[in-house]
Structure 1
Amino acid sequence: MSRSLFAASLLALSLAACQGQATTPPTPAAGAAAPSETAQDQAFAALAARFLDEGLALSPVAATQIGDHRFDAELDDLSAEGRRKSADWTRGMLAALDGIDAATLSREHQVDALILRNQLDSTLWDLETMQSWAWDPQVYSGLAGGAIYGLMAREFAPMPERLKSAAARMEKIPALLAQARANLDPARVPKTHAETVARQNRGIFTLIETFITPNADQLQGADRARLDAAIAALRPAVEEHQAWLDGTLVPDARGEFRIGAERYDRKLRLSLNSSLSRQEIRRRAEAELARVRDEMYDVAKVVLKDREGAPDTPDQPTGAQRQAAIEAAMELANEDRPGREEVVEFARHTLEVATDFVRRHDIVTVPDDPVKIILMPEFQRGFSVAYCDSPGPLDKGLDTYYAISPIPDDWSDAQVTSFLREYNRRMIHVLTIHEAMPGHYLEGAHSAKHPSTLRAALRSGPFAEGWAVYTERVLADAGYLDKDPLFRLMQLKFYARSVGNAILDQGIHVDNWTKEQAMDLMVRQTFQQQSEAEGKWIRAQLSSTQLATYFVGAQEHFDMRRAAEAKAGEAFDMKRYHDSVLAQGAPPVRFARQLLLDEPIQ
């Protein structure tokens, strides 16, 4: 899962208004028009620059994440006045965009204009209709943790400078937590959201102990005194908030986590920006799951052939025979797993193997940008087992993080075994392909080179997640791990999870699925371990529509690949195609296709 904090929390961050005002644009011109472009192109380029200039002033934490460091000492304001300022500004930007004749723009600017309009519509809808600020405590915990993590995780400036910014932000976090208590209505907050944030809240202390305290001696005099005072004041503020979470929000939370068909459909259109409707996604996902299960059975037949005690594998199996064969073949992979303390080290090994394979087989150009495997910060745990956190598009040459969540200390042996069966050695190979090479890491490194800063800042989740899923199949088809059938089985299982995610998301939020229905899809139909399925059940409650991005994005990438092959014929070159796709700057996949294949922009 791609966990660029800016991409993951942009809608929430756009609710905020900050006391500071923008001074100069983050780049000379975020969507600069060439001298030969029309007056309308130049007007749009100026509007794109204004969006980034003023919009990032309203969202300082997001600004830090994309590499605009003018507001590193500021923190988002989610008060009623802050939300009003944000709504007024967003309406003003929409009015300015309405004043530009999109039909006369260059194709690149037509795409950016559609992306910008979708983002503005999303912000206003979330602010006024979805109202995440009133019922989702993750908005506030994400901002509080991200405010520090974004400053300290990467060396974009000297440590003393970042420490001074961190001190200024820590001074403001108590006010943010107070805004959370004022804004959140327990009657609207779902129980799972409240419990999750209650577990995460004290994670901010881990950030301080990891990033701030070991480096505090680099400040002297008044700067050091201010830092110490900010930490000292933050601790009781966090504990006060913890007491409210434990004593008020968790016991009183009674909101409905299911968002319903009407809001789901609107959010799906805005967050995915895809041409596929909810109904089309469901139809394609159910058909694809049936196809993948058939393919998994074919692989299982190869794995189990001549193996003593293996279940029958007839050419025309019953449903029970198919299930038994796939499960038996998977058991062989599940038993080949790393030890409890070996997961991160084995992930490093898989990164080396995948990188070498991509280079040797000319899959796609591999950039020199660095990537590091790290332990997932505590404040971000509880949502996924891994993510890729790329540097902001304005921060050049900084590390990409492939973050792995460590196994919790309080897990029982049975929980640990279940987790490691799910993330066995071959599955970690698949995970590394998805998150790092040639998935999220490589896609982010390529996309950041696109000249449109607007497009980089508003990079599409379905493009990024779809590319990562697409590359899993590309490497399997190219013979990764010497065509090991158990690896292919794990790749198909990982893909089946993506397909199942889209079904699960609709099932829960639109069709009112019970936990039993959800667990049947995850455990029986897509072969996930109990611990993985339990975590996904929580995740599906905590979010909506995001789980569909994997399948929708992958389907659009597969569709685009087939169309490109048909157009190029025998001249089709895979590496050239992949480089061309990633050169589009991660817009919604439909726009990448329209640009790449010279189709009408719409």
Structure 2
Amino acid sequence: MRSLRLLSLSACVAAALVAGCKSETAPPPASADNTATASAAKPATAEWDAAVDGFLQGYFEHFPVFGAGAGKHEFDGKLPDFSPEGRQRNIQWLHQQRDAVSAFGDDRLDAPQRYQRDYVRAVIDGQLFWLEDSGFANKNPAFYLGDLSPSMYLTRPYAPLEQRMAAFATYQEALPKAAEQIRANLKGPLPKTYIELGVMGFGGFAEFFKNDVPKAFAQVKDEALQARFKASNTKAIESMQGLADYLTSIKPQATQDFALGADKFSKMLKATEGVDLPLDQLKAAGEADLARNLAALKSACDQYAQGRPLGECIDKVNADKPQGGAVEGARAQLAGLRQFIVDKDLVTIPGTEQAKVEEAPPFNRNNFAYIEIPGPYEKNLPSVYYIAPPDPKWPKAEQDAYVPGKADLLFTSAHEVWPGHFLQFLHANRSQWKFAQLFVGYAYAEGWAHYTEEMMFDAGLDGATPEIHIGQLTNALLRNVRYLSAIGLHTGGMTVAQSEQMFKDKAFQDPGNARQQAARGTYDPAYLNYTLGKLMIMQLREDWTATHGGRAGWKSFHDQFLSYGGPPIPLVRGQMMGGAAQAKLWTAPAVVPAAAAAGDAAAAPASGSPDKAAPKSSM
């Protein structure tokens, strides 16, 4: 899906996230709480609009894959300059843009424009962290995999097939140079999980180019174009397989040196999400939410499978598999989810668009589910909810376990489509400010999608039976363990093996998912944003609805929250509550007795420390 995880993290969720744009400066929706803060100063409207337009045009030129994905197809086939010199030019440009945006002081902007300035600056700060501070360009294949994804040309019918084939040939022609730059950057030694991601990703590209892409363009009759494609395809396969082979060759020297460290991890949260909270406070909030969900799971299982251990209770729920497999099952669920939203009047559905469901392509199966949504400049194109099959190399039992039960899949479908990512982008793409359509952050998008799972259960989805509750809770526990694993792996000395065990023990994941999730925590340190975003949204809902009708105000809250596009949630809080941007997490009430009663699996909140670690995606 489109998101703020540019360059470094887009491959993990969708993995992924404006010349001639109309200069629209309508403010974000005003509430009674923030209209009084408008400045009496005369705003520099024309100058500000020109600055934003200039930033967007420059951004597309410096990050052409983002431009093409947004629907600016003059950038089709172009790849970034991954060389150190190319990255440095991008860094320098971003710093120049940040200075130019910051030069618009409060005295030159009205209140809505000051919010816009802070939103633009937040996007720049997030991008600069991944380029300058993370170190990922020199060790993390995830930094590159999102930009290399060919999905747009194959799965998005934005132009006739011949035109997309020509763009794809241009893209393939650019791959050998990109591969050469990437190999030079990834000198090694590299963390083991990074190497495995790169082998899977780059090798998956090669396999996909060889086995699937020629079939996609087979019906094109232009002989010259077919010849050009064949030549570029051969070199693309060689370049991607060469990268995979290179990483395989350095695997004997693999390390476990993946941790960002506490200082850099905190800087990541501040730069990318505007969250400036002490790590011990963040960890305590995650432990409390894990304990709350484990206690709720114990209660639901007492009703659904009384007397049986929690793991057996979940196995019983997951044994009820969707008819025809996960893809067919998800297709059957979407209509009912949409109708439930309408019947319960939970949030506005601003359009008639629908999402398709397809099997994930081989190069992007490192997570169970994700959605690709056309950019805001595209018109009348489908969004696709992708579901990955189990790895055929796994044992048969692990393959069977990887396919979720119907209740689990229901909340995955809610997360990805109704009312999660798909609905959120229906709102974002209707924002009056083009910038807000283009830049949607990780915690905003994933926090909203995860928040909606619990919200839908609370509203009575499918009768809110114990079985349905268990499906919702298993998704919540997965994100709880991601949250604690991210903190533990990068700031607390947690090992990959300890994280994997935590996913088994606290999130009740099967071995295949547990391996994937623990590994993902090393190369996607921001995957705590699912729970982090959810906790910020829950606290904001509690605070905002306290003076806007309580539970009856949920629809108004949802509509207003979704109207901002996708900035860091603390900025949204500042707009909806009045005052400065602030990160504030909802903290679950203490549930120690209930958790202790659940036995070993729920005895004590999980710790990110290595001596206590126990415990699908963009899902």
Q: TM-score interval w.r.t. the shorter chain?
A: 0.7 to 0.9
2:61 aligned counterpart, secondary structure: helix
2:321 aligned counterpart, secondary structure: coil
Evaluate the alpha carbon distance shift between residue 252 and residue 577 of structure 1 in structure 2; reply closer, same or farther with a 3 A threshold.
same
1:392 aligned counterpart, secondary structure: coil
Deviation for aligned residue 1:227: 2.4
Aligned equivalent of 2:262: 261
Q: Deviations over 1:534-554 (max 9, x none)?
A: 22111112211x221011110
Select between 452-461 and 370-379 the one with higher mean Cα deviation: 452-461
Structure 1 CA distance for aligned equivalents of residues 142 and 481 of structure 2: 25
Aligned equivalent of 1:231: 233
Evaluate the alpha carbon distance shift between residue 117 and residue 354 of structure 1 in structure 2; reply closer, same or farther with a 3 A threshold.
same
Structure 1 CA distance for aligned equivalents of residues 314 and 446 of structure 2: 25
Structure 2 CA distance for aligned equivalents of residues 600 and 241 of structure 1: 47
1:245 aligned counterpart, secondary structure: helix
Aligned equivalent of 1:9: 6
Tell whether the 8 Å contact from 1:463 to 1:589 is kept in structure 2 after alignment: yes
Aligned equivalent of 1:368: 352
Aligned equivalent of 1:198: 199
Aligned equivalent of 2:81: 77
* 1:547 paired residue among 516, 527, 534: 527
Deviation for aligned residue 1:207: 4.2
Structure 1 CA distance for aligned equivalents of residues 533 and 439 of structure 2: 16
Aligned equivalent of 1:404: 387
1:47 pairs with 2:51: yes
Structure 1 CA distance for aligned equivalents of residues 317 and 361 of structure 2: 29
Q: Any gaps of 5 or more consecutive residues in structure 2?
A: 11-17, 29-39, 583-619
Written as runs of structure 1 = structure 2, the 5 A alignment for 1:410-559 is: 410-420=393-403, 423-544=404-525, 546-559=526-539
Return the letter of the residue paired with 1:576.
S
Deviation for aligned residue 1:561: 1.1
**TM-score normalized by the length of structure 2:** 0.85
Aligned equivalent of 2:362: 378
Cα RMSD over matched residues?
2.6
Task: Choose between structure 1 and 2: higher helix proportion.
Answer: 1
Q: Deviations over 1:59-97 (max 9, x none)?
A: 111111122222113221111321222122112112212
Q: Deviations over 1:258-283 (max 9, x none)?
A: 11111111112222223544332211
Tell me the percent identity.
Answer: 24
* 1:25 paired residue among 10, 14, 19: 19
Evaluate the alpha carbon distance shift between residue 42 and residue 387 of structure 1 in structure 2; reply closer, same or farther with a 3 A threshold.
same
Tell whether the 8 Å contact from 1:334 to 1:424 is kept in structure 2 after alignment: yes
* 1:590 paired residue among 554, 570, 576: 570
**TM-score normalized by the length of structure 1:** 0.87
Deviation for aligned residue 1:570: 6.1
* 1:98 paired residue among 99, 102, 126: 102
Structure 2 CA distance for aligned equivalents of residues 417 and 81 of structure 1: 47
Aligned equivalent of 2:296: 295
Select between 546-555 and 209-218 the one with higher mean Cα deviation: 209-218
Aligned equivalent of 2:272: 271
Aligned equivalent of 2:556: 576
Deviation for aligned residue 1:152: 2.6
1:78 aligned counterpart, secondary structure: coil
Q: Deviations over 1:225-279 (max 9, x none)?
A: 32232223323333433432333x3334436111111111111222222354433
Highest RCO, 1 vs 2 (Cα 8 Å, sep ≥ 6):
2
Structure 2 CA distance for aligned equivalents of residues 89 and 12 of structure 1: 21
Return the letter of the residue paired with 2:372.
D
Tell whether the 8 Å contact from 1:430 to 1:472 is kept in structure 2 after alignment: yes
Evaluate the alpha carbon distance shift between residue 278 and residue 182 of structure 1 in structure 2; reply closer, same or farther with a 3 A threshold.
same
Aligned equivalent of 1:21: none
Tell whether the 8 Å contact from 2:70 to 2:375 is kept in structure 1 after alignment: yes
Tell whether the 8 Å contact from 1:11 to 1:122 is kept in structure 2 after alignment: no
Return the letter of the residue paired with 1:332.
K
Select between 236-245 and 574-583 the one with higher mean Cα deviation: 236-245
Evaluate the alpha carbon distance shift between residue 402 and residue 71 of structure 1 in structure 2; reply closer, same or farther with a 3 A threshold.
same
Q: Deviations over 1:423-465 (max 9, x none)?
A: 1111011111111111111111111111222222221211111
1:241 aligned counterpart, secondary structure: helix
Select between 260-269 and 83-92 the one with higher mean Cα deviation: 83-92
Evaluate the alpha carbon distance shift between residue 26 and residue 502 of structure 1 in structure 2; reply closer, same or farther with a 3 A threshold.
farther
Structure 1 CA distance for aligned equivalents of residues 295 and 354 of structure 2: 39
Evaluate the alpha carbon distance shift between residue 93 and residue 255 of structure 1 in structure 2; reply closer, same or farther with a 3 A threshold.
farther
Tell whether the 8 Å contact from 1:473 to 1:491 is kept in structure 2 after alignment: yes
Q: Any gaps of 5 or more consecutive residues in structure 1?
A: 14-23, 312-323
Q: Deviations over 1:478-523 (max 9, x none)?
A: 2111221111122122212222221111111110113453244322
Evaluate the alpha carbon distance shift between residue 193 and residue 350 of structure 1 in structure 2; reply closer, same or farther with a 3 A threshold.
same
Deviation for aligned residue 1:211: 4.4
Aligned equivalent of 1:565: 545
Return the letter of the residue paired with 2:311.
E
Deviation for aligned residue 1:37: 9.5
Aligned equivalent of 2:174: 172
